[in-house]
Amino acid sequence: MTLHARLVVTRPAFTLDIALDVRPGEVVALLGPNGAGKTTALRALAGLVPLSKGEIVLDGHALHTLAPEQRPIGMVFQDYLLFPHLSALDNVAFGPRCQGASKAEARRTAAALLERVGLAERAAARPRQLSGGQAQRVALARALAVRPDLLLLDEPLAALDAHTRLEVRSELRRHLADFGGATVLVTHDPLDAMVLADRLVVIENGAIVQQGAPAEVARHPRTDYVARLVGLNLYRGVADGPRVKVGELLISTSERLEGAAFVAFPPAAVALYRSRPDGSPRNLWQARIDGIERHGDNVRVHLDGPVTAFADITPAALADLDLTPGQTIWASVKATETHAYPA
């Protein structure tokens, strides 16, 4: 049940062109900002959007020539799209019925799946009587009921409130781990992607900009979007030994590289001073404060200057330094807190 796909969808003013390989049992998350084309990619896999070019091959069989109803897929939609006129049980039994199972047989399959997602006692409920988390689980059961080889999930947790999300996320992770086929899920939430997926594929403007294991992507972001997602300051520059030149600024790093390179450091590694500090050799530059906002328990200071950067400081430090937007200050980062890697 290996998926091998190249998806090309051409629209006026937008082109999606990505290659995707998913091994049996693997969960791949398509991560990207709104409008990047990740939902289009998922709909193309399902056959709901025609391919302009490319192919979808699952286990050696071409899928892209088949109509959606003939593909061995199960899909969970963002707002679930449970049929409002059918009970939870009949929603789940819908797929098996379409595959030719008798009514009794389909209902048995459906009942077993509802049991598995912990909703046996809600079998008779109509979708509008279900909570968001319950509807999500019924939608998953409905998709699994057709015994798909390829499971597609479109923003499976986006419609849930924060508390339910936490609970459903870990549950979904368990069900995905039990599923033997290939899974592709779409999300714009890095946390969902990190928890649920074995591999991240980051899409921007219709193309893959980075992919890899979640931890690898989190440590080595390669675009501003990914850096923002994982909370790092990221710069692209040219390395010359222990230094990377980013625009006008030379950043000392702990790694030695040559040629095009990325430098990343966390906002918490940035120290701010009202006047030029002396002493230990470190990366130091003069910056203008662009904005100040709360960020969790800390304060995030937006810096403009030779490089734009975020600095996270404590509220106490903010008070001590008496910072205001527009002010010019000194910012520094220790070389040991930076991380450089080839671009």
Partner 1 sequence: MGAVTEQNRTASARPPWMLVVPALAGLAFLVLPLAGLLVRAPWSTLPERLAEPYVLEALRLSLVTATVATAMSLLLGVPLAWLLARVEFPGRRLVRALVTVPLVLPPVVGGVALLLVLGRRGLVGQWLESAFGITLPFTTAGVIVAEAFVAMPFLVISVEGALRAADRRYEEAAATLGASRWTVFRRVTLPMVMPGVVAGAVLCWARALGEFGATITFAGNFPGTTRTMPLAVYLALETEPEAAIVLSLVLLTVSMIILAGLRDRWVSAP
Q: Which chain residues interact with partner 1 by CB under 8 A?
A: 46-48, 67-71, 73-75, 77, 81, 83-85, 94-95, 98-99, 142-143, 145-146, 152
Within 8 A by CB and 6+ apart from 184, the residues are 3, 20, 22, 28, 29, 30, 42, 45, 150, 151, 152, 153
Residue with Cβ nearer partner 1 (94 or 262):
94
Nearer to partner 1, 3 or 287 (CB): 3
Q: What minimum distance in Å lies between the beta carbon of 113 and partner 1?
A: 13
Measured from the CB of residue 75, what is the shortest distance to partner 1 in angstroms? 4
User: Which segments of 101-161 does DSSP mark as H helices, in order?
Assistant: 103-116, 132-144
CB of 45 to partner 1, least distance (A): 10
Residue reference for tokens 């928890």: 195
The distance of closest approach from Cβ of residue 129 to partner 1 in the complex, given in angstroms and rounded to an integer, is: 17
- CA dist list (Å): 253 to 127, 163, 182, 287, 339: 56, 41, 40, 20, 7
Cα–Cα distance measured from residue 57 to residue 107, given in angstroms and rounded to the nearest whole number: 31
Identify which of residues 5 and 146 has a Cβ nearer to partner 1 in the complex: 146
The strand order across the sheet containing 283-295 reads: 271-273, 328-333, 283-295, 298-304, 309-313
Name which of 46 and 229 has its Cβ closer to partner 1: 46
Q: Cβ 58 to partner 1, closest distance in Å? A: 14
Shortest Cβ 336–partner 1 spacing (Å): 51
The residue (of 47 and 221) whose beta carbon lies closer to partner 1 is 47
User: Distance between CA 35 and CA 302 in Å, rounded?
Assistant: 26
The nearest distance, CB 73 to partner 1, in angstroms, is 6
Measured from the CB atom, is 152 or 197 closer to partner 1? 152
The nearer residue to partner 1, 39 or 233, going by C-beta atoms, is 39
Structure-token match 């998953």, residue found: 140
Would you say 248 and 296 are in contact if contact means Cβ atoms under 8 Å apart? no
CA angle 179, 181, 183 (to 5 degrees): 85
Distance CA 312, CA 332 (A): 12
Per the CB < 8 A criterion, the answer to whether 258 and 330 are in contact is no
- Could you tell me the smallest distance in angstroms from the CB atom of residue 81 to partner 1? 4
Minimum CB distance to partner 1 smaller for 98 or for 112? 98
Q: Give yes or no for a contact between 321 and 303, defined as CB atoms under 8 angstroms apart.
A: no
> How many other C-beta atoms are found inside a 10 Å radius of the C-beta of residue 181?
22
